Amino acid sequence: METDNQDTNVNINEVWASATETSSQPPPHAFKLLLVDTSNEIVQAWNNELKKLPTKVLPDDSTQCLKVQVHHGTFQNLLKTNQAECLVSPANSFGLMDGGIDYYISEYYGGVNELIPVVQKSLDFEWCGEQNVGTCLLVDVRELVTKIKNDSNEEKCFPGYIAHCPTMRIPKILNNDDLVYRCTWAMLTAIKKHNANILEGEIKHHRINSVVCAGFGTGVGQLSENLCAKQMMLAVNNFVNAPANAEKRPITDSWLIQWPYASKISESIDNTT
């Protein structure tokens, strides 16, 4: 099962379109997760964990669900050849995007003086300026993108949303807990909710078809690449197999989650730490 960017660069939108000609657009939980990192270790770990996932997450499978692609390199280079509506920031709680990968994200959007005020304005409104670790806030940066494009002739993709996912309150070395799982889960479910609002007639926003994400916590946080990969891919697995995201459920099925299911999920997360 190959997962490098040479073999997984499939037009998933075409696959979805051919699978369901009667549907105007995919279900909210169906979008692309483009994993990208400069670390050889985490890319290899992602690829190893991806082999354990159901084949429906692969780009050439027609099942309408989350699709995963793994790329080695920088997010900047990835966005030269791939369209994406969302870019993940493995942030701190206060939107201070001036260090680590957040610094490069800020530079991509015109510098810290341009991006930080936009992010912190959203944090003020949603979180009184301090976002909880392990949560996700989708920040609308489309006005800033318009400004950047008007001021530059450079042809590249600028995602209109930033998924602000604090891995730490302030920069520090992280413990080996379930933080990466929580951040990944929060990001995936936030995008699903965003897309669900689009289906319900939300006209102020655009659907997120693709999201670009680096490894959580492996930079300043110094988490191991294997732990990061295991927890990120476990969150992907649990997301695509969640009862709420099932393709079809018999009407006789109970929608209530029972303790055996909850215990199984909890045990699988505990086994990664």
The beta strand positions in the chain, using DSSP E, are: 32-37, 67-72, 86-89, 137-140, 161-164, 210-213
Decide if 48 contacts 2 (C-beta within 8 A): no
pLDDT of residue 41: 98
The beta strand positions in 85-183, using DSSP E, are: 86-89, 137-140, 161-164
Q: What is the rounded average pLDDT of the residues 24-36? A: 94
CA distance 167 to 132: 9
Strands 210-213 and 86-89: parallel
pLDDT of residue 247: 74
Where are the domains positioned within the chain?
A: 12-270
The model's pLDDT over 42-57, given as tens digits with 9 standing for 90+, comes to 999 999 999 999 999 9
The model's pLDDT over 88-122, given as tens digits with 9 standing for 90+, comes to 999 999 999 999 999 999 999 999 999 999 999 99
pLDDT of residue 254: 66
pLDDT of residue 7: 40
Give the architecture-level CATH label for domain 12-270: 3-Layer(aba) Sandwich (3.40)
pTM: 0.89
Q: What kind and span of H or E run contains 50?
A: helix 40-50
pLDDT of residue 10: 43
Average pLDDT, the chain: 90
pLDDT band at 70 (very low <50, low <70, confident <90, very high): very high
The model's pLDDT over 191-230, given as tens digits with 9 standing for 90+, comes to 999 999 998 887 899 999 999 999 999 999 999 999 999 9
pLDDT of residue 235: 99
Collapse the DSSP code of 69 into the 3-class scheme (helix H, G, I; strand E, B; otherwise coil) and give the result.
strand
Cα dist from 248 to 25, 63, 243, 255, whole Å: 17, 12, 9, 12
